[in-house]
Structure 1
Amino acid sequence: MADEDLATLGTETEALTTTTAPAPDGPGAQPDAPAGTQGSAPATGRWLPRIVIAGLVLAALNLRPAITSLGALLEEVRDGLGMSGTLAGLLTSVPPLCFAVFGFAAPRLARRWGPGAIVCAGMAAIAVGVVVRPYAGGTGGFLAASALALAGIAVSNVLMPVVIKSWFPDRVGPLTGLYSMALALGTSLAAAVTVPMTQALGGSWRTGLAVWAALAAVAVLPWLAVVRQRATALGPAAGGGARTGEAPLRITSSPTAWALAVFFGLQATAAYITMGWMPQIFRDAGVSAQTAGVLLAVTMAMGVPLSFVLPRLASRMRHQGPLAVFLGVCGLAGYAGLWLAPAAGAWVWALLMGISNCSFPLALTMIGMRSTSSAGVVKLSAFAQSVGYLISIPGPLLVGTLYQHSGGWSLPIALMAGLMVPQIAVGVLAGRDRRIEDEA
């Protein structure tokens, strides 16, 4: 994405924090009252912020089930489609690839159509992709439909913070916490119930994967209402273009931006390896498929309470490096347990990995703290997330290849533990009390 596009989006987002809520289209339409203000407004205007909140929660619930439900049934999918271990590893690498590619495109799409319309289209893409992929016929069709669903996840993932900041500028913390909690809840729910729900619906892995499309279809509804009212995050009140006299911010010149991008990429690598392969590690150790799914759910569910606690704690610290070290050490301890006694201490390792995976909200918090302006935050977020997801692509594929050729989990787990060391190091660098404007 061009720098001027990111600067424009950041300027528009910043402008909305000091203006009223966007106005609906149509002759004689009156502006909606922004959240938390007094005054007369149409009925739709009074309810619209609540509809946006409902849309945020429903969208967040849909940002991970397409991935974690596949992890819970990966062995059945591999057998059903005749996948090799390497190809299954490629399948687990598709999410970060789509997140990187479509993450770059999301701000430009939002400038053209508005974030509400893009999120609405994203939810529709998730619904269509999830329901089509089990019946697409062969591995190629499965991958193509998965990519469609993941594209919807990617653009929504990038634009949710923009919507929150635009609609609720004085409630960014609580709304971000609600969004993070719903995201973690959707992640853990899909991991926990996919296997038993599949059994209850007749035992077909195709049905077990396709049923999650219903949740995405429900999530389309509130965003249709938002789009109809033209109540998008970049509405008519937003300013257009970059500010005159403002020096361009070259994000690639900032060491902190690069440290954050690498930290984001390594934590994403660990997260997608966990979501894609951890159930299989437990199953190969003798744990039942249903219990393995619950263990993954426990790992993902740790993000529900910690998504509230960790960002608040990090925002009160001048240096977030100690938190990156703590989370990394938990990850190393979890990998050591998976190496030595995967079945005997399964619940402990699942808890430790869940704590370690909370590097994601820490990364998001540091992104918000490493810039002095909204435009800088938008640039840093797009750069760190897109570059980070590109960095994370080889990890799950390499784990699948090592698993297939070594015949066990010793080498893949050693790789996971080895990647945790540089993650800790760049986390310390990214956590320093610096601002990208001072470096770029």
Structure 2
Amino acid sequence: MSTKKTISMLFAAIFLIALNLRPAVTSIGPLLDTIRNDLHLTNSEVSLLTAIPVICMGLFAPLAVHWLNKFGQRKGISILIIIIGGMTLLRTWFYDYISLLITAFIIGIAIAIIGPIISSLIKEKFPTRMASAIGIYSLGMGAGATLSAGLTGVIYVIVGERWEIALSIWSALALLAYVVWILSIKDAKAVKEPVEMDEPAVFRSPWSNTRAWLILLFFGFQASLFFSLTTWLGSAAGELGFNVIEAGTVISVLTIAQIAGNIVIPLLLEKFPNRSFWIYFSLTLGTVGLVLLLTNSTLLIWPASVFLGLTLGGLFPLALLLPLDETTDAREANAWTAMVQTGGFIMGGITPLAIGILYDITGTHQMTYYVLLMLLVGMFVVTIFLNKKNNPA
């Protein structure tokens, strides 16, 4: 196989693997109220179905270093794809609350480990085209979120209102990803862009590095924004009188706009690589979106979803690039990404849960919007601190 074709296959594999990293979480959002009512749960309890995998993404991200050392890229990623697909498929037959929590827990661990390994793969194979590779990676996650958020409600109706099938059907994505990954990785050893190195890189632990902690906070705030919106925006639409299909459409608009951001921002980064400009631009769009949500208008929720989707689409690839910008090789990139995602995903899992508790207490999503606004403020402040360092964000 030619090098050009091998690179294309590897890009396709990265995209398809990323496609599997969100449906287990985002497919819950459109059916949140349905699952809660069917299983007689509180808002706090049902929000654990999305909080647990995200918290696991953080808690178990450090295992990526040991997993990569033990299994390597090919076998390690293959096992994790099988786990994600298998646990998702099990929801067809095991859909009581405890079983859903267990599958969410295991899927979260698999996603936690696979994320840093993919980042290290990108650092190793495409060091001069990281923005493009990260763009494909984030596009895959955005597409997975879009498909699952937008179609889960439709599938639920088509299969006779059986939400367990609507959740488990996304396991089909894992089979496709596994096949393409196995085919692409066979010749991937030949893929490695030449990079000039003056001297061997010295490994720097992220745990004692101030910039790593700032990047962790940034990643955590953007993860909190993403998972809070995908978990609760459908419910917020329901509060305004939208049915399941309509609420799912609102989330679809959000995630379609996110995909647009996933495509456009990395392309613009190739020509205009100033990270902080695009961060501030994305945060401004998000602020406009939240102001529109605060009006509680059934009409303005649509443009609000567009603005917030573009924000998510811009912030995620930027958050993935920040630790790669700071590192010099694949090993260091794996360690920094694992550290950043450890704290970041824990924050991303806790925030939607906290919103669920607030929703139980207040009975309205008005406080939800203020929490999301605080996340944007947090990212703005962190970016200022990153820019004060010697190396701009």
Partner in structure 2 of residue 27 of structure 1 = none
Partner in structure 1 of residue 3 of structure 2 = 35
CA RMSD of aligned residues (A): 2.8
Identify which of 275, 278, 298 aligns with 1:323: 278
Structure with the largest fraction of helix:
2
CA shift digits 1:299-352 (9 cap, x unpaired): 112232322332354466675333323322322222222221241212111011
CA shift digits 1:260-279 (9 cap, x unpaired): 11011011011100111111
Query: Which range moved further: 389-398 or 280-289?
Result: 389-398
Cα distance change on mapping 1:113 and 1:246 into 2, 3 Å: same
CA shift digits 1:163-193 (9 cap, x unpaired): 3344455654433332322221121111111
Identify which of 188, 199, 206 aligns with 1:251: 206
Residue type of the partner of 2:25?
I
Q: Post-superposition shift, 1:66?
A: 1.5
Identify which of 138, 156, 162 aligns with 2:114: 156
Runs of 5+ consecutive residues of structure 1 not aligned to the other structure: 1-32, 37-46, 238-243
Residue type of the partner of 2:281?
F
TM-score when normalising by structure 1: 0.79
Identify which of 248, 254, 262 aligns with 1:293: 248
CA shift digits 1:272-309 (9 cap, x unpaired): 00111111100111122212212212211223232233
Q: Post-superposition shift, 1:234?
A: 12
The 8 Å contact of residues 34 and 167 in structure 1, kept in 2 or not, is answered as: no
CA distance in 2, matches of 1:120, 1:409: 40
CA shift digits 1:371-396 (9 cap, x unpaired): 45555433332222212112333211
Summarize the alignment of residues 277-426 of structure 1 with structure 2, pairs less than 5 Å apart.
Answer: 277-314=232-269, 320-357=275-312, 358-426=314-382
Runs of 5+ consecutive residues of structure 2 not aligned to the other structure: 193-198
CA distance in 1, matches of 2:390, 2:264: 23
Percent identity of paired positions between Structure 1 and Structure 2: 23
Cα distance change on mapping 1:405 and 1:190 into 2, 3 Å: same
Query: Which range moved further: 187-196 or 216-225?
Result: 216-225
Q: State which structure, 1 or 2, has the greater radius of gyration over its C-alpha atoms.
A: 1
The 8 Å contact of residues 132 and 267 in structure 2, kept in 1 or not, is answered as: no
Cα distance change on mapping 1:204 and 1:137 into 2, 3 Å: closer
Residue type of the partner of 2:212?
A
The 8 Å contact of residues 163 and 232 in structure 1, kept in 2 or not, is answered as: no
Residue type of the partner of 1:92?
T
Identify which of 126, 132, 143 aligns with 1:174: 132
Identify which of 90, 103, 109 aligns with 2:67: 109
Cα distance change on mapping 1:431 and 1:159 into 2, 3 Å: farther
CA distance in 1, matches of 2:370, 2:24: 28
Residue type of the partner of 2:235?
Q
Cα distance change on mapping 1:434 and 1:294 into 2, 3 Å: farther
The 8 Å contact of residues 256 and 434 in structure 1, kept in 2 or not, is answered as: no
CA distance in 1, matches of 2:252, 2:99: 28
